[in-house]
Amino acid sequence: MKIEIAGLDFEKGDGLIPVVVQEARTLEVLTLAYTNRAALVLTQSTGYAHYYRRSKGRVMKKGVTSGNVQKIVSILTDCDNDALVFLVDQMGPACHLNERTCFHKTVQ
Amino acid sequence: MKIEIAGLDFEKGDGLIPVVVQEARTLEVLTLAYTNRAALVLTQSTGYAHYYRRSKGRVMKKGVTSGNVQKIVSILTDCDNDALVFLVDQMGPACHLNERTCFHKTVQ
């Protein structure tokens, strides 16, 4: 089944939708990010992941300074249309701490 | 590296932390859910995923009515301690629509 951006529920999260970012080849979860309508349109039109960075209050292309960009392989949404998965081809490490994934710590 | 529940950042999300739920064997992303401190303590102490269900306003064990429970394999957190991954052994379908995963639609 396919859905368009207009069918997504941006209202529940005050304009933002959480995005699970997953490496398409290994299926490793790289990071959890947020998108808004503008960032998602840019992601689709350019083929590279853009996010709404809550700490900066604006839309940014992932890896714009580091070069660690994410090429989009596919975008999925869930039954409620209020969460996304980006399957990506990750260039370099995803994490700003130079780790391959942001999820590199165990909760005990 | 290991971290305890006390080290997680529940404040950023007004008491809630988003949880990426991933099938431990296939690494398929099953759903995006939310936890609070109480749900996470229950998850750790019982070994089965509990979530804070925003639509119900309370903590519930996943699969308590359907039987489609999630046995915890491991719990990861990210660099900011404000998002989690639950790697789980999923019994039955994860989605209430009887799909294997909630992420069964493509955004075009």
Which residues from B are below 8 Å from A2, CB to CB?
Answer: 105-108
Nearest Cα neighbor of B82 from A34, A2, A25, A78 is A34
Q: Which two three-digit tokens encode residue A80?
A: 């409620």
Record: contact B96-A80, CB cut-off 8 A: no
Confidence of residue A67 (pLDDT cuts 50, 70, 90): very high
What is the mean pLDDT of the segment spanning B70-75? 98
User: Which phi and psi (to 5°) does residue A89 adopt?
Assistant: -105, 105
Record: contact B3-A107, CB cut-off 8 A: yes
Record: contact A29-B28, CB cut-off 8 A: no
Give residue-wise pLDDT tens across range B7-61.
999 999 999 999 999 999 999 999 999 999 999 999 999 999 999 999 899 999 9
May I ask the CATH class of domain B28-108? alpha beta
Fold of A5-90: Ubiquitin-like (UB roll) (3.10.20)
Nearest Cα neighbor of A82 from A1, A5, A6, A8 is A8
- Structure pTM? 0.95
Chain A residue closest in CA terms to B26: A27
Which residues from A are below 8 Å from B75, CB to CB?
Answer: 106-107
